[in-house]
Amino acid sequence: MNHTSRRAAIQVGITGLVALALLLVGIAWIKDYRLGKKKRLLVARFEEVGNLSEGDPVSVRGVKKGAVTDVHLQDQGVTVTFELERDVALHPDAVIRIANIGFMGEKFLALDPGSDPGRFDLSKPIPGRYQSGVPEVISGAGDLITQATELSSRLNEFLDAVDPATMQRASKNLERMSASLSTAVDRNQEDLRQAILDFKSAASQMKSIASNNSEAVGSSIRDFGTASRRLTDLSEKLGVTADALQRVVLRLDNKEGSLGKAIADSTLYDDLRETLRNTNDLVKDIKKNPKRYIKLGIF
């Protein structure tokens, strides 16, 4: 191989190496790899992700710090796996939301690392929430316009069904009522003004009285509170007394205790009547024959 051929081969080899290096740099740039930047995989959980897809960026307070690597639908939500640079410290109150870029609503993850003391438990998913974008708002506005159109159509049907003469009479009645009200206000304008002034004066006097007698009012309120507490105590004691009387009455009704048995036993009543009758007979006999019972002797 002559010198020219060898030189051409070296140039071709160098050109190929440069092209390969540029290709690798381009691939690394496209995939957002950075030399010396180590990343970790984290998991977030959402109820809805709104067409979030792999490769969408992850931003921390407006600074791009990672990208979405996987979006997985689950039974009760969506799990999103994303990579994040290790220099981002996550605190226990860290949260993440799905935000929108631009008018077309391109999605990205906005991560708030939090500020509470300590570190977030990376074994648990980061709680996430979905933020509606412009497309969702436009869709909601479309539904609102549809409902407004339907309401307008129903209102037109109602107006078509109503008798025009009835509507005209109602309009005239409303106009007459408005005119009457306006006339009444005009006629009683001075009375209304005086009533307002009297009300303001009364309010001012009440305020002055309350201000000058604030101590007396406070004392009255405290006395009322004390009386209320005493009344409550009295009510409780009366309740206890009533319960005790109720128990006594029940015992009497059930013929419990000496008094209950005495009240329920008719024999005691008969014995008492017999004793009283015998006592009366004895008193009568003593009055009739005192010498039989009383003997006097003189020594």
- How is residue 79 annotated by DSSP? E
pLDDT digit string (tens) for 256-269? 666 666 666 667 66
- Is residue 152 in some structural domain? no
Residue ranges in the chain modelled with pLDDT below 70: 1-9, 12, 25-37, 102-105, 132-144, 159-163, 167, 217, 252, 255-266, 268-269, 290-299
Please list, in sequence order, all residues whose beta carbon lies within 8 angstroms of the beta carbon of residue 90, skipping any fewer than 6 positions away.
113, 114, 119, 120, 122, 126
Say what the pTM is: 0.37
Go through the chain and tell me how many residues it has. 299
pLDDT digit string (tens) for 99-129? 887 656 678 899 999 989 999 988 889 998 8
List b or e across 215-243, with b for residues whose CB sees 16 or more CB atoms inside 10 angstroms.
eeeeeeeeeeeeeeeeeeeeeeeeeeeee
- Is residue 93 in some structural domain? yes
Same domain, 55 and 112: yes
Same domain, 50 and 26: no
- What is the domain-level CATH number for residue 60? 2.40.30
Sign of the torsion angle spanned by Cα atoms 197, 200, 204, 209: positive
Which residues constitute the domain of residue 20? 1-31
- Is residue 9 in some structural domain? yes
- Tell which of 84, 109, 130 closes a domain: 130
- Tell which of 130, 158, 188 closes a domain: 130
Q: How many domains does the chain have?
A: 2
Selection from 101, 96, 150, 100 nearest residue 128 by Cα: 96
Element (H, E) at 110: strand 106-112
Same domain, 23 and 58: no
